A and B are shown apart, each in its own frame.
Chain A
């Protein structure tokens, strides 16, 4: 493989904590849970060129769970789309790093997201465009498990299947928690895989923190022709920072300086 994904993901987690602490608000839990997926995509799988963020043949990524913006920004910065120093401007007035991703502001952001449920439709549109143009790029779409409570996700799931969009590869970051509690307390989403399968998708289920499993699942998704693939990733909300792991209260609260120091010390020891 040649790339130390663990080191990259750990650095991304450090970036996430630092940027959120500097911002004083934001969403650490769901950023940390999808960090490993983004690390594999941006550092191993995606056919991209940071010097040409608008390259028309590039693979695309739609962060449908846009509140995980700090994780996306960390991946983009570490990949060289913009300077790492920009990360501490997150959520501040005048920054190109908006609270939720905006394609017009940030190099490398392929779609504006943040209002949940909308990203998969956009991903489908990108895949349809690629097919029309005879291009071979893939479109990755990262959804939250709470997010799939939005009806539009299922409209889009139907469309991706109807149009046989085998270049759409979805991920569900299944950390089991959302703002008001567990998925099961708020609104049951399980069985996630069965639901997508019933909509005509190829479904894979993996540990979303296992780099080799993520990588292998993407390969398997690409090998599946004629239908879209969703990779249901079992993840841990707040992964990598012990006091944030599986804690719903870290969904939308930034660490203060003291908490950030503890988190960063933990991450740097990993």
Chain B
């Protein structure tokens, strides 16, 4: 099944709101795109469209959080983390308030809107804020689970969701989301592939194809980028001796950087980072852009052979 994580965000928050009166949702005139419009329909009194004013949206969410509300503030990732960065820093992260920022249309898979709208830096800038946690769900099942977790997890959180539909890799009936714990999808001994978001299915694919070549790849879904599962990163790297990271974001400051930070201090290991190579994106079909920017299973396999 193919589904977009943004759809799962809206469905989950709407479902949860039925039993949790503290959940409120804010959007900045993108409710149709972030899908938060579903919540608006179900709980109009708890939905606040703030208009095209992300700074005010984030500040208002902070005020709601001081009164015990659990605000989800959604917009395109580029706006909610970038346009409103300083509001996120001061009114949410510094104040340590229970605001959940949901950034959709992240990365080049945002597509035709082009580089202005394709956030490549969002993971890096959110990760750099004290108190902020960062979650990038791999599929719709995990996105729903991550939203459920976000309600229980006190404190500022950034959840990155995608515009494009992507394959469902988890079983909705059995999947358990463990905040801050990477998910080992395939055990291996020759190389560790650490992925997040819609790169995870591609990492699984690469792992299977490497296995056919006789290469034993360990594939990890690192849905929580902050706090990073350092123990898992270190233990897997110590076992395989080679690490490849892949993310639909800049290689500057994101998942790959987080992994390198841990390994350089605790278990120096050769790492190849795959992601947007410190460039802005361009217009194009989202899926096509992922191929053009080298965010594919082929590139993971190539990277392995080059290591």
A binding-site residues for B, Cβ under 8 Å: 56, 60, 62, 102-104, 110-115, 117-130, 132-133, 151-152, 155-156, 158-159, 162-163
Contact = CB atoms under 8 A, between A and B. Distances in A.
Contacts of A103: 66, 95
Given A118-B87, A128-B48, A132-B45, A155 B53 contact: yes
Nearest to A153: B56
11 contacts: A60-B66, A103-B95, A121-B62, A125-B62, A125-B63, A128-B63, A129-B68, A132-B46, A158-B51, A159-B50, A159-B51
A102 B94 contact: yes
A121 B69 contact: no
Given A125-B61, A125-B62, A102 B51 contact: no
A115 B92 CA distance: 12
B62 A128 contact: no
Nearest to B24: A132
A124 B46 CA distance: 14
B96 A124 contact: no
Contacts of B57: 121
Contacts of A114: 90
B91 A122 contact: yes
Contacts of A128: 24, 48, 60, 63-64
Nearest to B46: A132
B60 A121 contact: yes
B67 interface: yes
A110 B90 contact: no
Contacts of A130: 67
Contacts of A159: 50-51, 53, 56, 60
B179 to A, nearest CB: 22
B51 A56 contact: no
A159 B50 CA distance: 7
B56 A112 contact: no
A122 B62 contact: yes
Contact of A124 (B24, B63, B65, B89): B63
B67 A123 contact: no
Contacts of B91: 111-112, 118, 121-122
B87 A124 contact: no
Given A121-B57, A125-B65, A126-B66, 20 more contacts: A62-B63, A103-B66, A111-B95, A118-B91, A120-B59, A121-B87, A122-B59, A125-B60, A126-B63, A128-B48, A129-B67, A129-B68, A129-B69, A132-B69, A152-B87, A155-B55, A158-B51, A159-B50, A159-B51, A159-B60
